[in-house]
């Protein structure tokens, strides 16, 4: 197969060998690993809203308001939304230019080369797998409230199993293995339910707003337990600013924490290969879902902090229902719990979908066992979906997640940084590519995206950074022990030893 000038220029060898955009697109036609194209722009928007409106809006808002930022949590959401919007523009250009499963992993393979692609793929594996486990445990807690039981776990000997978390992952694994289109339809129904609950919270809660509760809007900084040493943000640790409780430092730390509430819109990019018209549908799905949830989030935070003074939301158990209970609106608690249960269901499902598609792309490239990338009769990667379900069920069922939620944030922000840089690189190295959507003001917007994401990363805790570094170190071991030697590009290098400009049939 004869390469284009752009493909020839993009070929490299060794650790930074790159998989051309054209080759990535050609790989989507392989019969054994071909995904079915069923999704529309509407389906993608639903997926985006489905995964974003979940744990963040039902639990995180009250907790951050009461313990970190006060009423200024609404500003924290705006800051996080701006960072996400800048990154979303970059994702939209990449996804419409390279409509292939794998999201940031696939984009990095075409721009930075194999080693960086592996790093980002390993990073996304952490983000999605841990995200599934964390949200599944949250779903289990709300299930207990809905069915009226104090515990959704059982004790077998010295082992505690969270059966609620295992149950939801098992059900959704079967659903995802059945077909992506069916998953989209189920997601649409559940998403409609939880949006209705969110709107109910806004409308009913607005009647109980007291302006005095917004004062002080940015509470003065003061000492807070658990925010010293490795528990404080990296920025505070480096600058000697101390803890990040309230004040301006608290506001910045809050933006990094509530960023978790936006995680998911990037998963829309992982479904590129299953979209009918990816060049148009992907940008609309990514940007549309982000716009919808941002408006809802800001409205909810303003209502929440207006209903009760922020100091009444302190502690680890505050939720949206807390504000209504304190105002005597007890009926709302059950409605919110039901909405949260529905909301978290779709979050778990779409996170699992993203995890499976990233691993699918890595397996198809040979960086992980290639047989796992085979698709079933319905055009879905059944083997990988089942594997993801089993691993996540074990983690969610047996491991107390605790403060590891921040690990999801740092993994996502790192992916955003690489995607933003990749847009600039691909514009320079492959100006010949057709781009149905273009990021405006390049390189300004990608640079701002990188700076915004790095800033949010700096405001995550030191212990989160240490865990992230350890996870990446393990990833390097796996890559050099398996991925490098089994890579499809490595096999091609072994057969074709001529110069990059020579005609090359990729494996």
Structure confidence at residue 241 (pLDDT): 60
The CATH number linked to 485 is: 1.20.1740.10
Query: Is residue 293 packed enough to be buried (19+ CB in 10 Å), middle (13-18) or exposed (0-12)?
Result: buried
Distance CA(385)–CA(169), nearest Å, equals 11
Pair 11, 17: CB distance under 8 Å: yes
Structure confidence at residue 228 (pLDDT): 62
Specify if 208 maps to a domain: yes
What DSSP state is assigned to residue 461? Answer: B
Pair 135, 55: CB distance under 8 Å: yes
Specify if 504 maps to a domain: no
Specify if 503 maps to a domain: no
Query: Is residue 211 packed enough to be buried (19+ CB in 10 Å), middle (13-18) or exposed (0-12)?
Result: exposed
Distance CA(254)–CA(258), nearest Å, equals 6
Total domains, the chain? 1
Specify if 501 maps to a domain: no
User: Could you read off the pLDDT of 31-45 as tens digits, one per residue?
Assistant: 666 667 677 777 778
Structure confidence at residue 338 (pLDDT): 82
Distance CA(477)–CA(455), nearest Å, equals 29
Specify if 502 maps to a domain: no
Specify if 237 maps to a domain: yes
Structure confidence at residue 363 (pLDDT): 92
Structure confidence at residue 229 (pLDDT): 65
Specify if 506 maps to a domain: no
Structure confidence at residue 476 (pLDDT): 94
**Helices 405-429 & 247-258, crossing angle to 10 degrees?**
80
Specify if 81 maps to a domain: yes
pTM, entire model: 0.77
Regions of the chain short of the pLDDT cut 50:
1-10, 225, 495-507
Q: Tell me which residue range forms the domain holding 78.
A: 5-495
User: Could you read off the pLDDT of 223-260 as tens digits, one per residue?
Assistant: 554 556 666 777 777 776 655 578 887 888 888 888 87
Continuous segment of H or E residues that includes residue 159: strand 159-161
Query: Which residue bears the tokens 């409509």?
Result: 99
Pair 241, 235: CB distance under 8 Å: yes
What DSSP state is assigned to residue 156? Answer: E
Q: In angstroms, how far is CA 325 from the centroid of its own chain?
A: 31
């Amino acid at each position: 197969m004869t390469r284009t000038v752009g493909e020839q220029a993009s070929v490299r060898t060794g650790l930074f060998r790159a998989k051309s955009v054209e080759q990535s697109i050609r790989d989507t036609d392989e019969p054994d690993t071909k995904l079915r194209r069923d999704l529309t722009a509407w389906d993608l928007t639903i997926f985006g809203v489905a995964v974003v409106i979940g744990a963040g809006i039902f639990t995180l808002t009250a907790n951050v308001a009461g313990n970190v930022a006060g009423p200024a949590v609404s500003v924290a959401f705006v800051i996080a939304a701006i960072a996400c919007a800048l990154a979303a523009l970059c994702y939209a250009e990449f996804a419409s230019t390279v409509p292939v499963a794998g999201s940031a992993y696939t984009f990095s393979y075409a721009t930075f080369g194999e080693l960086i692609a592996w790093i980002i793929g390993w990073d996304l594996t952490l983000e999605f797998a841990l995200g599934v486990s964390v949200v599944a445990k949250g779903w289990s807690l709300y299930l207990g409230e809905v069915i009226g039981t104090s515990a959704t776990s059982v004790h077998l000997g010295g082992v505690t199993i969270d059966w609620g978390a295992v149950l939801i992952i098992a059900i959704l694994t079967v659903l995802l293995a059945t077909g992506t289109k069916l998953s989209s339809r189920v997601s649409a129904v559940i998403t409609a339910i939880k949006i209705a609950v969110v709107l109910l919270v806004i409308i009913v809660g607005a009647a109980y707003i007291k302006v005095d509760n917004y004062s002080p809007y940015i509470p003065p900084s003061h000492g807070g337990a658990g925010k010293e040493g490795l528990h404080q943000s990296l920025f505070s640790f480096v600058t000697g600013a101390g803890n990040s409780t309230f004040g301006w430092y608290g506001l910045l730390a809050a933006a990094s924490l509530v960023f978790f509430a936006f995680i998911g819109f990037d998963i829309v990019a992982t479904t590129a290969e299953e979209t009918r018209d990816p060049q148009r549908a992907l940008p609309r799905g990514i940007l549309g879902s982000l716009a919808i949830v941002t408006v809802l989030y800001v409205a909810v935070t303003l209502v929440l902090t207006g209903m009760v003074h922020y100091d009444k939301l302190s502690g680890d158990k505050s939720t949206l229902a807390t504000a209504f209970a304190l105002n005597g609106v007890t009926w709302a608690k059950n409605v919110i719990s039901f909405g949260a249960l529905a909301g978290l269901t779709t979050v778990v499902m779409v996170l699992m979908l993203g995890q499976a598609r990233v691993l699918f792309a890595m397996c198809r490239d040979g960086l992980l066992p290639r047989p796992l990338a085979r698709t079933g009769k319905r055009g879905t990667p059944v083997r990988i979906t089942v594997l993801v379900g089993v691993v996540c069920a074990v983690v969610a069922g047996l491991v107390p997640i605790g403060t590891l939620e921040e690990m999801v944030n740092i993994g996502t922000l790192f992916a955003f940084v690489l995607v933003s840089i990749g847009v600039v690189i691909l514009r320079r190295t492959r100006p010949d590519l057709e781009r149905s959507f273009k990021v405006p003001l390049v390189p300004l917007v990608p640079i701002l995206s990188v700076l915004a994401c790095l800033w949010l990363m700096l405001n995550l805790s030191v212990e989160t950074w240490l865990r992230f570094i350890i996870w990446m170190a393990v990833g390097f071991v796996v890559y050099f022990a398996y991925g490098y030697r089994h890579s499809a590009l490595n096999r091609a290098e072994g057969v074709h030893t001529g110069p990059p400009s020579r005609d090359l049939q990729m494996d």
